[in-house]
Amino acid sequence: MLRAEGVWFRYERGRPWVLTGVDLGIEAGEVVGLCGPSGGGKSTLGRLLAGHLRPDRGRVTVDGAVPRSRRAPNPVQLVLQQPERAVDPRWTVRRALAATGAELDGLDERLVHPGWLDRYPHEISGGELQRVNLARALLVRPRYLVADEISASLDAVTQARIWTLLLEHCREAGIGVLAISHDRPLLETVAGRVLDRSPVPDAAG
């Protein structure tokens, strides 16, 4: 189980708290939606869960332990809205995927077309690059995936295609998913339960 236990966070000392004592649990294989207005700390929570940020108080655990290994990839992987900002523009798709250290033999061809491997990120479309981005996160065999607005800049057909593939992979591998979005109908379609996050009051803490 992926858990946030009483997590407090602010970006700088003296600035208002972004998260004040957040508790959240995601079971293996479960898809949880997280909805709420801008500035409510949804993305911050996602980055804390994936280990990109450290909580000021409280902790994030996977199966009861704080993931700390520097050698292995974090068991919680984060996929972001803008794939073009998540890959090195001077690397081919093959190199970006190989950088995970995993073998590319096991790559799902429905997710990443073999013809894209030797292209550069700007030579495939945004939707295709997002599939590469997702494949990269799945290559390290994560236990949990945080999907932060992964389809917000894509058209409806591409959005449905990406989510269908993602959910299929996660179901097969028992990966738990936190889906973050403004789009409540989307979350109600993909997630088993949807949580609401409202902005924290400024004076807290």
Partner 1 sequence: MTGTLLEVRGLEIDFVQYERGLRRRTVHALTGMDLTAGAGEVVALVGASGAGKSLLAHAVLGLLPPNAVERGDVLLDGVALDAAGRRRHAGRGMTLLPQATGFLDPLAPVGRQVRRSAQLAGHADPRRAAAEALQRRGLGSEVLRRYPHELSGGMARRVLVAMATLSSPRVLLADEPTTGLPPEDVRTTLRELRAMADDGCAVVLITHELRAALEVADRVVIVRDGRTVDTAVPAAFTGDGEALTHPFTRALWQALPGNGFRVAEGV
Site for partner 1 contains 192 (CB under 8 A): no
Nearer to partner 1, 2 or 134 (CB): 134
Nearer to partner 1, 60 or 191 (CB): 191
Q: Which of residues 33-62 bind partner 1 (CB under 8 A)?
A: 37-39
Nearer to partner 1, 65 or 157 (CB): 157
| Least CB distance to partner 1 at residue 93 (A) | 16
Nearer to partner 1, 29 or 126 (CB): 126
Please give the single-letter amino acid code of residue 139. L
Binding span for partner 1 by CB under 8 A among 49-57, 65-73, 100-108, 151-159: 151-159
CA 165, CA 102: separation in Å to the nearest integer? Answer: 20
Q: What strand order describes the sheet that includes 31-35?
A: 76-79, 144-148, 176-180, 31-35, 193-196
19: left (phi over 0), alpha (psi -120 to 50) or beta: beta
CB 178 within 8 A of CB 46: yes
Q: Which residues are CB-neighbours of 135 under 8 A, at least 6 positions away?
A: 97, 107, 108, 111, 112
Site for partner 1 contains 193 (CB under 8 A): no
Site for partner 1 contains 185 (CB under 8 A): yes
CA 78, CA 76: separation in Å to the nearest integer? Answer: 7
Nearer to partner 1, 100 or 158 (CB): 158
The residues of the shown chain that bind partner 1, judged by CB under 8 A, are 37-39, 81, 125-127, 149, 152-161, 163-164, 182-186, 188-190
